[in-house]
Amino acid sequence: MRQRTIGGVQVSAIGLGGMPMSIEGRPDHQRSVATIHAALDAGVTLIDTADAYHLHADEVGHNESLIAEALASWGGDASSVVVATKGGHLRPGDGRWTRDGRPEYLKQAAEASLKRLGVPAIGLYQFHRPDPSVPYAESVGALADLLDAGKIRMAGISNANPAQIREAQEVLGGRLASVQNQYSPAFVSSRPELDLCTELGVAFLPWSPLGGISRASDLGARFAAFRQVADAHGVSPQQVTLGWMLATSPVVVPIPGSSRPETIRDSVRAADLDLSADELATLDAAVSRR
Ligand SMILES: NC(=O)c1ccc[n+]([C@@H]2O[C@H](COP(=O)([O-])OP(=O)(O)OC[C@H]3O[C@@H](n4cnc5c(N)ncnc54)[C@H](OP(=O)(O)O)[C@@H]3O)[C@@H](O)[C@H]2O)c1
């Protein structure tokens, strides 16, 4: 599979998003492990998770533990796999997503993630979502301290606007490795952040790249241009979407979510899908017309 880099570390051009395996509608344990193993077998070396990917209040870190277990039980060499987790978002168990961006909380959350992942240092630790009650520089400052302490290898942010990206880069002394924002054919309003990441050489990880768990399957029905290009190549519209994203900028590393081996196997093939300049122009035009 083609490769990309995050903070100078090489990863597969397509990562695996772990969220569908731990929140509402999640599959059974066996199928989740099979999905993660299928990703690894296909060459995926980036897995995105978060301590908040769980359902009930008493199972914080459900997805991190699942990934740690699947990596340990996989037959191959997992030493080059980067597990990217996040802190600062919480799920009290009633369906809500709350926030806590206090530096002391983030440091404690990172320690807990480190234990669940069973690694000496977290591959990529991302501040999940800005907390309006805490100055952004203070939250990101916790990531700088975690880097300095060797608890995390790379630091990233998520759901950030251009001003926050620049602020994070400054607070981290130029060590901002990644930005993870929503980006898909149905949601292109993060384009300014993507362009800024390209300018700064910071990895951009589009979340919900296929439109999200409940809408990913009808992508081809909603976006005729993507379906037509897919038909011409004999591939899925989801694969074309990921290929189109990769062609947008060398800093893009999509993390499609999956809860079945078949879907992640299909998605990783996007890394090697070559779309022509005409096809890319057609897809860009279809998205910008919306
Ligand atoms: N930072 C944030 O605030 C934030 C927010 C949301 C998500 N995320 C991250 O981003 C990741 C991706 O987002 P997402 O999971 O919400 O949405 P998504 O990637 O847009 O869609 C996920 C769904 O797409 C389906 N799918 C995947 N590949 C497919 C293919 N090739 N063909 C057909 N269907 C396919 C999967 O179906 P099956 O379940 O049937 O396999 C899955 O349920 C998450 O898993 C999470 O790691 C981050």
List pLDDT tens digits, range 41-82. Answer: 999 999 999 999 999 999 999 999 999 999 999 999 999 999
Distances in Å between the alpha carbon of 140 and those of 101, 111, 155? 9, 16, 9
117 forms beta bridges with: none
User: What's the mean pLDDT when you consider all of the chain?
Assistant: 97
CA-to-CA separations, 180 to 93, 127, 176, 229, 234, in angstroms, rounded? 24, 10, 12, 27, 30
Task: Give the pLDDT confidence of 106-128 residue by residue, as tens digits.
Answer: 999 999 999 999 999 999 999 99
Predicted confidence band of residue 288 (pLDDT cuts 50, 70, 90): confident
Rounded distance from Cα 284 to ligand 1 centre (Å): 21
As to burial, measured by CB atoms within 10 angstroms (0-12 exposed, 13-18 middle, 19+ buried), residue 55 is middle
Only one residue has tokens 């909603």, namely 222
What is the pLDDT, as a whole number, of residue 264? 98
pLDDT given at position 225:
97
Nearest to 44 by CA among 62, 67, 61: 67
Q: What is the pLDDT of residue 95?
A: 87
Please give the pLDDT value at position 188. Answer: 94
**Ligand 1 atom index nearest CA of 50:** 47
CB atoms within 10 A of CB 95: 9
Average pLDDT of the segment spanning 183-203:
97
Q: What confidence tens digit (pLDDT) does each residue in 231-264 have?
A: 999 999 999 999 999 999 999 999 999 999 999 9
Pocket-forming residues, ligand 1, beta carbon under 6 Å: 17-20, 48, 129, 158-159, 180, 207-213, 216-217, 236, 238-239, 255-260, 263, 266-267
Which secondary structure element, helix H or strand E, spans residue 82, and what is its range?
strand 82-87
Average pLDDT over residues 150-169: 98
The reported pTM is 0.98
Q: Coil, strand, or helix at residue 68?
A: helix
Token representation of residue 232: 């011409």
- pLDDT at position 154 over 80: yes
Q: What's the confidence (pLDDT) of residue 128?
A: 98
